[in-house]
A = this chain, B = another copy of it.
């Protein structure tokens, strides 16, 4: 026996499919008796509406597509949690699609979302906005997260610049004069903005040395080890993200360098690990970003004439033991 359809219910209740649809969807114009019969028949047959068919008919899926790069664990789950919280509260599902591969596979993934979702949340700090725009399935409402986009469309962005500035002011206020920045990957706009904001906020009497990194803990460790070997003097490290800062911390510890007495260390993101290890950092609340993104998208979907909006989220400086002693 196949799944019961609306027609089976109609037959069993001896009414038309239209009445079943109306009864089940709680429309007003249904006689109580009819409704009762329909409900009974539906329960009897274990009828479950076919969401796919419903979507096709309504041109509404109540699902939102989520396209993410291969995020570090904590980031990923916090972001998805935020998205899910808002989405499910408002009756939407999440359709996930990691964008690990290069452009080609990603474009493919995006295309297959057409007709499955009502809108898209897309995060791509490492991809040219023009490329993204080109892949987008036509007029699908979209909100981007941390994408270096021009105007037009909804966008949520972390104010990396402001965050990095806050870190700069903090380190300078501590009297640090020879500061090292471990940068993120080249093409990454977050990384770029953090570096620029940091550099711009340093007074001229502070030396800044920039080392390459790739956001991985290992790269932070290596950069720091190289630094130590080179014998250059420095009194602070600001890594473009927490994982690299933790790597730096490890290298310093291994070399017997006192933190924060000799070298202060700051990161960016405030991953759970950072709190645990008392790392001074810039807090980026991914859960909140996720729910805001979902909220904005759903608003755009449901509220007619919702204006596209660019929202800049200012992250907060969290001072912990890697920059100050108690």
Residues of chain A at the chain B interface (Cβ within 8 Å): 3, 46, 48-56, 61-63, 71, 73-74, 76-78, 80-81, 84, 88, 93-98, 100, 109, 111-116, 137-139, 246, 272-273, 276-277
Contact = CB atoms under 8 A, between A and B. Distances in A.
Contacts of A246: 276
Contacts of A63: 95, 116
A278 to B, nearest CB: 12
A43 B55 CA distance: 26
A78 B52 CA distance: 29
A46 B76 contact: no
A94 B93 contact: no
A220 B71 CA distance: 29
Contacts of A277: 276
The 6 A-B residue pairs with the shortest CB-CB distance, nearest first, are A50-B115, A52-B115, A77-B77, A73-B77, A94-B96, A51-B115
A123 to B, nearest CB: 14
Contacts of A115: 49-54
Contact of A77 (B74, B84, B137): B74
Contacts of A50: 114-115
A3 B88 CA distance: 28
Given A93-B112, A272-B273, A52 B55 contact: yes
Given A113-B51, A273-B272, A95 B94 contact: yes
A48 B95 contact: no
A88 B56 CA distance: 24
B56 A53 contact: yes
A98 B84 contact: yes
A95 B84 CA distance: 11
A56 B53 CA distance: 6
A317 B97 CA distance: 33
A66 B53 CA distance: 20
A114 B48 contact: yes
B84 A93 contact: no
A116 B115 CA distance: 11
B51 A116 contact: yes
A281 B56 CA distance: 49
A109 B81 contact: no
Contacts of A71: 77
Contacts of A76: 77, 80-81
Nearest to A88: B98
Nearest to A91: B112
B114 A49 contact: yes
A294 to B, nearest CB: 12
Contacts of A56: 52-53, 56
9 contacts: A49-B111, A50-B115, A52-B52, A52-B56, A53-B56, A54-B115, A77-B80, A88-B109, A94-B97
Given A97-B88, A138-B46, A112 B273 contact: no
A246 B116 CA distance: 42
Contact of A3 (B51, B52, B139): B139
